[in-house]
Structure 1
Amino acid sequence: MSFSNVQSRPGQQPRHGQVFKPESRGQFCVDGVNAQCPLQSWHVNGLESGKFFPAAVGGLRDPLAPDDVANVAPPADGKIASAGQAFAAVLDEQSAERWHKHPVKPGQSLDFQWSYHAIHLTRRWNYFITKPDWNPNQPLSRAQFEAEPFHKVELTAQPYWSHNDALTPPDPTIHQVRLPERKGYHVVLAVWEVADTGNAFYQVIDFDFG
């Protein structure tokens, strides 16, 4: 299903998917936990940009599934949390104190739960984390994140047009993820990559490692 084929009610934007547990930065905005962040649910579900982060250019093919649709350009540095969407630019504000954080322990096993408002044929989910020496008072950039995901879930069936059932994720999708060794404030970037479009959906979750 492409972005343009998603059906929505009059006056609403197309919706796609989000991490709802642990609550993403955007979900905490919807819930009123994050102050001065007036987002609605459809904003959080629509944080869509090019797949293959941390790549910075479009036109790339998936090494695992080269028949998948090539990517469009992923979000620019400083616009990762919003996926470059102007309606969610508030999510790109970044400081050590700006956002509410989930208390966690290094090495803790945690369920990341995705919900969907428009199902896409899926290739993978990647989970990235900020580097041990990142600067929380600087905008989120590729240099702030580890280059490789610390957790990845891939669906290998291909070509995508012959495997609708195998590439359609369950709703909700639950991944049991072991958090890396970290101290203090860190950000996890969860990216849901789509097989049949050039896009992915971006979610950032703020953690305090104690």
Structure 2
Amino acid sequence: MAREARHGAVTDPKSRAQLHLADWQAAGLEAGKFFPAKDAGLTDPYARDDVPNFQPPQDGRIASAGKDFASKLDEPDAQQDWFKHQVAAGQALDITWNYHAAHKTRRWNYFLTKSGWDPGARLTRAQFAPEPIATYQNSGQPYWSADDLLPEDPTIHHVTLPGDRKGYHVLLSVWEVADTGNAFYQVIDLNIG
């Protein structure tokens, strides 16, 4: 049965979801916002009028955003041998989001696995550095009357990779929505030379 694509996904460099799922599935990896938070019902400290978050994905289910249809995305590299984009330490990497249904957006956060992470284990919060390596935030408030919160399609961010990471790493890209409790989760596998 054909399904319509929905919401949005990282299309360049291709996310793990873009490489291994149908378009409608890749664009539907949606779970509670505010990663690395684990709890639901939290308000945005920057924009208190935004909708509180729903339940973020559990550790071990981050790549799939907890969606059963995408559970293969949670398998560690030792089992799947994920395609890794060749990049350089310190490189400004262009990340492109495309949308099927744009939402009023508060921010995009980009998290990178920390040095010494275990690629043979499922992705957990402990595998990522606690702070994003890049954040792009929209300032309009309150969300229901702000006209500047709908993202351009496509949205392109220039994310500079840290100079101290080498080898295989995972970049977690999180698109946080202002007018719902959700965010969209995309992982990109990198080989940092």
Bin for the TM-score computed over the shorter chain: over 0.9
Aligned twin of 2:99: 116
Amino acid aligned to 1:154: Q
Structure-2 separation of matches of 1:63 and 1:184: 35
Match for 2:85 among 76, 81, 102?
A: 102
Give 2:118's aligned amino acid.
N
RMSD: 1.2
SS in 2 for 1:167: coil
**Structure 2 vs 1, CA of residues 11 and 209 (structure 1 numbering), >3 Å: closer, same or farther?**
closer
Q: Could you tell me how far apart the structure 2 residues matched to 1:98 and 1:61 are?
A: 38
Residue from 182, 190, 193 that aligns with 1:207 = 190
Greater shift after overlay, 96-105 or 113-122? 96-105
**Counterpart position of 1:190:** 173
Number of aligned residue pairs: give it. 191
Cα deviation, residue 98, structure 1: 1.7
Q: Give the TM-score of the pair, scaled to structure 2.
A: 0.96
Q: Which residue of 2 aligns with 1:155?
A: 138
What is the TM-score normalised by the length of structure 1? 0.88
Q: Does the 8 A contact of 2:62 with 2:123 survive in 1?
A: yes
AA aligned to 1:68 is D
| Residue 52 of structure 2: aligned partner | 70
Q: Secondary structure at the match of 1:161?
A: coil
Amino acid at match of 2:113: T
In the TM superposition, residue 13 of structure 1 has moved relative to its aligned partner by 5.7
Q: Cα distance, 1:14 vs. partner?
A: 6.0
User: Is 2:124 aligned against 1:133?
Assistant: no
Q: Does 1:45 align with 2:27?
A: yes
Deviation at 1:28, TM superposition (A): 1.5
- Distance in 1, Cα, partners of 2:125 & 2:152: 30
Identity percentage over the alignment? Answer: 60
SS at match of 2:156: strand
Q: CA deviation at 1:162?
A: 0.5
Structure 1 stretches of 4+ with a deviation exceeding 2 A read 10-14
**2:13 is aligned with what amino acid?**
P
> 1:90 aligned to 2:72?
yes
User: Shift of residue 88 of structure 1?
Assistant: 0.5
CA–CA distance in structure 1, aligned partners of residues 122 and 2 of structure 2: 32
Equivalent residue in structure 2 for 1:21, among 12, 15, 21: 12
Q: How many angstroms apart in 1 are the aligned matches of 2:174 and 2:97?
A: 11
